[in-house]
Structures are given as structure tokens and as C-alpha cells.
């Protein structure tokens, strides 16, 4: 049995169109969220490398049919909800006090210095879209940035000032 087939990640259903139609394609669950001011705020551009932005502010997964094989970090909604990995107001359900939030651009801009500090302090998972994150960091903070392996942790990258790096 591969990791991708274990029930604790994939839930009991591999494909269920009525269940999947509940999804509003907000992409929040596929973003990394960071704790700030008692909420878990998603960072635009900090997301799974298989997530793609689509029209009308929606998102899609480029490997959806095979996501549990190709993305060992991905969780079925049944599993992700109780763990707080879905949006706070997700149609699949999130326990009170858990869940990720996407805030307005105005509020995000105010939170950005704090969030950038946390990104640099904790690093980011290796499964993210590094180029997309760097573009977002440059757009918001200017200068040049790079991602490097985190010393002693093969599943984490660190964000550093300066060019070069992995992405």
C-alpha cells in the first residue's frame, strides 16, 4: 500500500461527483495558512504546486484525479475539515474555531510584514509553487528573494533575500 492509498489521507471516497459539486473552487484549502492575530490567514501565492488560478477568481487542481498519488501532502475533504485545513466557511464543514481565512487585500497588506516574518522564521513546505511565492514576495516587498533548502529538514524551504536559490 502506498502512502497515497492510506484511508487517513484519502477518506472513504475516491470520486464522488455530487460530493465534489459542493466545492466552490476558492482554492483556500490548497494554500498554506499562517497564524496571525488569532486566525489562520492564507497567503496569496503560497500554495500547492499543482494549484492553478482560473477565471473569475476560481482555482483548479492540475492533478485532481491522481492527487493522492502525486501529492502526498493532499487530504480528502472529509479528513481535511476536522483538521482545520479547509476554509473557515467551507461547504464541506469546518469545526468552530478552526479553518483558514482569506482576507481582503487591504487587510492583507496591513498583515503582510507580520506574515512575511513568519514565513521567514518557519520556512515553507517544499511542495509549494516556489516561483509563484517569490513573485508575490517581490511584488509586495521589492528587492530580490530566493528559496533555499532548510538545513536539516528535507520538507522545508527557507526564504532569503538575494537572487539565486531553487526558484
Contact residues toward ligand SF4 (CB under 6 A) are 30, 48, 50-51, 61, 63-64, 67, 71, 74
3-state secondary structure of 124: strand
Grid coordinates representing 124 are 515553507
**Shortest gap between Cβ of 127 and ligand SF4 (angstroms)?**
8
Which is nearer to ligand SF4, 32 or 146 (by Cβ)?
32
Contact 152, 161 (CB under 8 A): no
**CB closer to ligand SF4, 51 vs 147:** 51
End-to-end Cα, the chain, rounded Å: 33
Closer CB to ligand SF4, 61 or 137, in the complex: 61
Give the shortest CB-67-to-ligand SF4 separation in angstroms.
4
- Residue 81's SS3 state is helix
Q: What distance in Å separates the CA atoms of residue 1 and residue 4, rounded to the nearest whole number?
A: 8
Of 80 and 159, which CB lies nearer to ligand SF4 in the complex structure? Answer: 80
Cell of 149: 533548502
Minimal distance in Å, beta carbon 31 to ligand SF4?
9
Amino acid at each position: 500500500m502506498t502512502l497515497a492509498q492510506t484511508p487517513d489521507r484519502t477518506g472513504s471516497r475516491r470520486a464522488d461527483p455530487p460530493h465534489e459539486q459542493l466545492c466552490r473552487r476558492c482554492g483556500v484549502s490548497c494554500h498554506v495558512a499562517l497564524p496571525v492575530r488569532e486566525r489562520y490567514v492564507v497567503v496569496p501565492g503560497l500554495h500547492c504546486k499543482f494549484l492553478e488560478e482560473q477565471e473569475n477568481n476560481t482555482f483548479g487542481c492540475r492533478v485532481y484525479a491522481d492527487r493522492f498519488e502525486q501529492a502526498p501532502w493532499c487530504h480528502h475533504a472529509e479528513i481535511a475539515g476536522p483538521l482545520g485545513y479547509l476554509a473557515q466557511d467551507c461547504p464541506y464543514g469546518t469545526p468552530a474555531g478552526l479553518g483558514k481565512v482569506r482576507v481582503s487585500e487591504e487587510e492583507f497588506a496591513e498583515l503582510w510584514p507580520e506574515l512575511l516574518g513568519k514565513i521567514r522564521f518557519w520556512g515553507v513546505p517544499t511542495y509549494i509553487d516556489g516561483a509563484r511565492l517569490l513573485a508575490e514576495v517581490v511584488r509586495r516587498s521589492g528587492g530580490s528573494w530566493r528559496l533555499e533548502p532548510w538545513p536539516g529538514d528535507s520538507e522545508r524551504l527557507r526564504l532569503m533575500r538575494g537572487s539565486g536559490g531553487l526558484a
